Amino acid sequence: MRIGELASQSGMSVDTIRYYEKIGLLPTANRLASGYRQYDKNSITVLSFVSSAKKLGMSLDDIKALLAIELDKSAASCETVKGFIAEQLLQVEQKMDQLKSIEQAMRRLHDTCCGGDESALCCSILQAMERGDV
Amino acid sequence: MRIGELASQSGMSVDTIRYYEKIGLLPTANRLASGYRQYDKNSITVLSFVSSAKKLGMSLDDIKALLAIELDKSAASCETVKGFIAEQLLQVEQKMDQLKSIEQAMRRLHDTCCGGDESALCCSILQAMERGDV
DNA sequence: CTTGACTTTAGACTCAACTCCAAGGTTATG
DNA sequence: CATAACCTTGGAGTTGAGTCTAAAGTCAAG
What value does the mean pLDDT take over residues A74-80?
A: 96
CB contact under 8 A, B45 and A130: yes
The integer distance in angstroms from the CA atom of B122 to the C1' atom of C14 is: 41
Q: Which domains does chain B have, with CATH numbers?
A: 3-76 (1.10.1660.10)
Label residue A95 by pLDDT band (50, 70, 90).
Answer: very high
Of B108, B58, B123, the closest CA to residue A92 belongs to B108
Phi, psi of B58, rounded to the nearest 5 degrees: -75, 150
Nearest nucleotide, C1' to the C-alpha of A50? C17
For the beta carbon of residue A104, count every other beta carbon within 10 angstroms.
11
Using DSSP bridges, classify how beta strands A30-31 and A37-38 pair: parallel, antiparallel or unpaired: antiparallel
DSSP B34-74: TS-EE--HHHHHHHHHHHHHHHTT--HHHHHHHHHHHTTGG
How far does chain B reach from its first CA to its final CA, in angstroms?
56
Label residue B124 by pLDDT band (50, 70, 90).
Answer: very high
What value does the mean pLDDT take over residues A85-92?
A: 97
Instruction: For residue range B30-73, list pLDDT tens digits in order.
Output: 999 999 999 999 999 999 999 999 999 999 999 999 999 999 99
Q: Which residues contact B128 (CB under 8 A, 6 or more apart)?
A: A52, B109, B112, B134
| pLDDT at res. A101 | 96
With beta carbons less than 8 A apart as the criterion, state whether B53 and A96 touch: no
| pLDDT at res. A21 | 97
Q: Which residues contact B26 (CB under 8 A, 6 or more apart)?
A: B17, B20, B46, B47, B50
Nearest nucleotide, C1' to the C-alpha of B38? C7
- Indicate yes or no: strand C within 7 A of the C-beta of B66: no
> Chain B residue closest to A129 (CA)?
B49
CB contact under 8 A, A99 and B96: yes
- Indicate yes or no: strand C within 7 A of the C-beta of B94: no
CB contacts, 8 Å: B81 with chain A: 113, 120, 123, 125-126
CB contact under 8 A, A125 and B89: no
| pLDDT at res. B101 | 96
Distance from C-alpha of B110 to C-alpha of B92, rounded to nearest angstrom? 26
- Indicate yes or no: strand D within 7 A of the C-beta of B15: yes
Distance from C-alpha of B27 to C-alpha of B37, rounded to nearest angstrom? 12
- Indicate yes or no: strand D within 7 A of the C-beta of B91: no
CB contact under 8 A, A89 and B107: yes
3-state helix, strand, coil in chain A (%, to 5): 70, 5, 30
Label residue A64 by pLDDT band (50, 70, 90).
Answer: very high
Residue B27 gets the label, from left (phi > 0), alpha (psi -120 to 50) or beta, of: beta
- Indicate yes or no: strand D within 7 A of the C-beta of A9: no
What percent of chain A is modeled with pLDDT above 70? 100
| pLDDT at res. A44 | 97
Label residue A58 by pLDDT band (50, 70, 90).
Answer: very high
CB contact under 8 A, A106 and B56: yes
What value does the mean pLDDT take over residues A5-14?
A: 96
Distance from C-alpha of B115 to C-alpha of B118, rounded to nearest angstrom? 8
Interface test with B, best of A10, A63, A81, A127 (most B CBs within 10 A): A81
Q: Determine the distance in angstroms separating the CA of B34 from the nearest CA of chain A, rounded to an integer.
A: 30
Using DSSP bridges, classify how beta strands B30-31 and B37-38 pair: parallel, antiparallel or unpaired: antiparallel
Mean residue pLDDT across chain B? 96
The three-state DSSP-derived secondary structure of B53-64 is HHHCCCCHHHHH
Instruction: For residue range B69-91, list pLDDT tens digits in order.
Output: 999 999 999 999 999 999 999 99
| pLDDT at res. B40 | 95
